[in-house]
Structure 1
Amino acid sequence: MRDVYLVGAGQSDYGAFPSESYRSLFRTAFEAAVSSVPNGLEAEDIDEAFVGNLGVGGRQIGLSGPAVTEHVGLDGVPTTRVENACAASGFAVRQAVQAVKSGIADVALAGGFEVMSDMSSDATKYWLGVSGETEWERLSGTTFSGVYAQMASVHMEQYGTTRDHLSQVAVKNHSNGAKNPHAQLGFECSLEDARSAPVVADPLNLYHCCPTSDGAACALIVSEDVVDRYTDDPIRVAGVGAGSDSVGLFQRDSYSSVPASQRAAESAYEMADVTPDDLDFAEVHDCFAIAELLAYEDLGFCEKGEAGQLIQSGATELGGDLPVNTSGGLKSKGHPIGATGAGQVVEAYKQLSGDAGERQVDAPTRGLTHNVGGSGGAAVIHIFEKESEVNA
């Protein structure tokens, strides 16, 4: 198996864009990714493409992958649409890595897109709900905010996690998102703002929930055989891990963890031959504030039950021991379902390239991205490392 590298990544803005289409958003992300490659890359270099998309609103569900790659000039490039709920483009990145590792491709595009702002709130809830367990959750009226509220309630009861801990996640991520020009909710909020917002599903309030978003993101993955053409300072895909689980929360043994994330983390750390202590930053899936706290524990950033103390300590803030969601996360940057995982990779690329602007981590060597589908039916993790620093 060959070594694999990330040589470029880019995204559109995230938000509500009535004048844009899913094709135009994808074009913006694709062109940003291509232009980010240090030594240049041409569309004709791309051998394979993988595109994540849920198909919110019913637009172009069949063949949505080729619909966007053809639009950006990748005529004839084999394109696969990947659907794994909110983890769709995270798994698209994984498939691109597998294709390049195996020798099927030397250069692969991994991306994703979603348009979510052009529907009523009821329609949006419906399309979000299709990624939950249909028979016993969605058709009984359970929403994703309701499912994550159950997870939050159990974690609070078991470990003493508080509403303030949830609110501190929002404050941190809004602070980071305010430094990200692509963020949908790019403004800061106070702890009092996050404490006093209207309740959505007790104990979660509005500031504990991510927005629905339009947006697209793309990453470019290449083999060790051609990486020198594209960059003089390679970023290696050091580890990849994935896991799946029961789609319904009620089907699992624990409400206070995401086993798919734990399995994915174990595989990624083993493949990269690192531990959580070796990471300099992480982008984790914070669709709801409790999801970030669960990720701290599931990914080994702290012991079980200690996520509240970790957020309270400031360790995951920009400038802390392990900055988490420097992009603003789903909470502030936004959550266009099919683009989210690839968008996390965009932030990893910017951080490791030193191009993250005001939110730049100090001289990072290694970072992790963590993308979850639904309430934990699927999870995928990538670990990226700056090869020049690792080998120094």
Structure 2
Amino acid sequence: MPSGLKDKVAILGMGCSRFGERWDVGPEELMVEAFSEALTAARIDPTEIDAAWYSSHYDDIGAGKAGLPMAQALRLPNIGVTRVENFCAGGTEAFRGAVMAVASGAADIALALGVEKLKDTGFAGLPGAHRGTYVPMYMPTHTNPGNFSQLAVAYAAKHGIATEDLKRAMAQTSVKSHRNAVANPRAHLRKEISLEAAMAAPMVAEPLGLFDCCPVSDGAACAIVTTPEIARAHGRNPLVLVKALQLVTSNGWELQQQQWDGAHVHTARIAAKRAYNEAGISDPARQISFAELHDCFSITELVTLEDIGVAKEGTAWKAMLDGEFDVEGRLPAQVDGGLKCFGHPVGASGLRMLFEAWLQLTGQAGERQLAAPSMVLTHNLGGSPAQNVCSIAIVGSEGA
């Protein structure tokens, strides 16, 4: 059996741009913004970086699918830059490449960066799909809100939840995230909303209303990783260590078999189970300090809380209404505002979640700092509930 990644890799430094409608800059400037902060935090020279991974889903910089945009924007020292893309899980995929390079001994210090410049595309949501081997097979006329509205309908039907009750729980999910984002100067949307406003918002795809959907944004996030020994030599205290990193990809079971009920995300359950085994976690509801989840839609957050085992099946909607996932609750979720308030620059979102984990674990989260977090889970989901890529990363303090 593989020994896993637990405690073999440390985060030396991280950086994150401000997310939003960044009309004044291009993707190059966003990359520099995140990288400069990470470099300062890591206290290293760029020449010490051995390899890099670059995530961007919609790349219009002119270099196709290569790593050239990042290598040139950051003036990296002629090292290997690997361009990765895994739908909305691309940011965590870049992190995975850098982490595995260090864990294998192929690199002493590695870089992962994700960036996206989506506001310039002119689309209110994600740009239109491109034809290829995947899209025609995947019903290209369907929209992301349409796909996830079906998750909401199936979840309500399976658990016997009244539509009004589910809508209220989804609205409360968004209210929570907006409240958390007020204390985060990097977030795109920093304004509280009321439960009544969220409930009464225009419908996008029944039962998902306007406030149930995350926006798209421009943004970048970056991580520099190394061995624990090198991190200690650079004075890192406390150490932030990778405890687990799992990636699960749909193999067609959900669409081609009759066992899937459409009310959960199959890959998330598998990824969570494997991540807990790798990290040595037996009771995630108790051992996880907080979670950053891929809340592309409010229903996704509710379902994910059950898929990762921190809420019993069919109960997350009630627990959300009871405040269990608020900052003051038993397991805070989206303490930085989540995708709901940061927006979703596809290639950057997974690293943005890890950035919040790193800030909290090193006591640098400022006004929104939690009391003594020790273990953090991030969940990155790309695709639709029926066909997707799911990444789960767990990072934590030394000894956790």
- TM range, normalised to the smaller chain? over 0.9
Identity score, percent = 35
1:319 is aligned to 328
Please state whether the residue corresponding to 2:98 is helix, strand or coil. helix
Task: Give the partner amino acid of 1:375.
Answer: S
Pairwise CA distance, 1:318: 0.6
Gaps of 5+ in 1: none
Cα deviation per residue 1:54-96 (whole Å; 9 max; x = unaligned)?
125x443624533113221213111111100100011111111
Provide closer, same or farther for how the CA distance between residues 273 and 295 of structure 1 changes in structure 2, counting only shifts above 3 A: same
Check whether the contact 1:106–1:225 (CA below 8 A) recurs between aligned residues: no
Looking at structure 2, the residues matched to 152 and 45 of structure 1 have their Cα atoms a distance apart, in angstroms, of 48
Mapped to 2, the partners of 1:348 and 1:44 lie a distance apart of 27
1:338 is aligned to 2:347: yes
Aligned with 2:46 (options 43, 52, 58): 43
* Cα displacement (A) at 1:225: 3.4
In structure 2, how many angstroms separate the alpha carbons of the residues matched to 1:136 and 1:153?
23
Q: CA deviation at 1:337?
A: 0.4
Structure 1 residue matching 2:233: 3-state secondary structure: helix
The two structures have a TM-score, normalised by structure 1, of 0.93
In the other structure, the counterpart of 2:237 is 232
In 1, are the aligned partners of 2:125 and 2:215 still within 8 Å (CA)?
Answer: no
Residue 249 of structure 1 deviates from its aligned partner by 6.6
Q: Give me the whole-angstrom Cα distance separating, in 1, the residues matched to 2:133 and 2:169.
A: 26
Residue 144 of structure 1 corresponds to which residue in structure 2? Answer: 144
Tell me the equivalent position of 1:350. Answer: 359
Q: Does 1:368 align with 2:377?
A: yes
Give the alignment partner of residue 39 of structure 2, picking from 14, 34, 38.
Answer: 34
Shift, 1:162, TM fit: 0.9
Residues 386 and 131 (structure 1 numbering): CA distance in 2 closer, same or farther, change over 3 Å?
farther
2:394 pairs with 372, 383, 388, which one?
Answer: 383
Aligned pair 1:106/2:108, yes or no?
yes
Letter in 1 for 2:333: V
Report the equivalent of 1:126. 128
Residue deviations 1:211-237 (CA, integer Å, cap 9, x gap): 011110001111133121231321110
| Residue 136 of structure 1: how far off its partner (Å) | 4.8
1:228-267 equivalences under 5 Å are 228-230=232-234, 231-246=236-251, 250-251=255-256, 253-267=260-274
Q: Are residues 136 and 249 of structure 1, via their aligned partners in 2, closer, same or farther at CA, if it must alter by over 3 Å?
A: farther
Query: Which has the larger displacement, 61-70 or 26-35?
Result: 61-70
CA-based RMSD: 2.1
Partner SS for 1:317: coil
TM-score between both structures, scaled by the size of structure 2: 0.91
Quote the Cα distance in structure 1 between the aligned partners of 2:378 and 2:370. 15
- Displacement after TM superposition at 1:254 (Å): 3.1
Structure-to-structure mapping, 1:70-219, within 5 angstroms: 70-121=72-123, 124-127=126-129, 134-139=135-140, 141-159=141-159, 160=161, 162-219=166-223
Over residues 324-361 of structure 1, what are the superposed CA-to-partner deviations in whole Å (9 max), with x where a residue is unaligned?
01110000121100000010010000010111122111
**Distance in 2 of aligned mates of 1:271 and 1:130:** 37
SS of alignment partner, residue 118 of structure 1: helix
* Aligned with residue 19 of structure 1, among 9, 19, 24: 24
Measured after TM superposition, the shift of residue 121 of structure 1 is 2.5
Preserved contact between residue 14 and residue 184 of structure 1 (Cα < 8 Å): yes
Are the equivalent residues in 1 in contact too, given 2:228–2:239 (CA < 8 A)? no
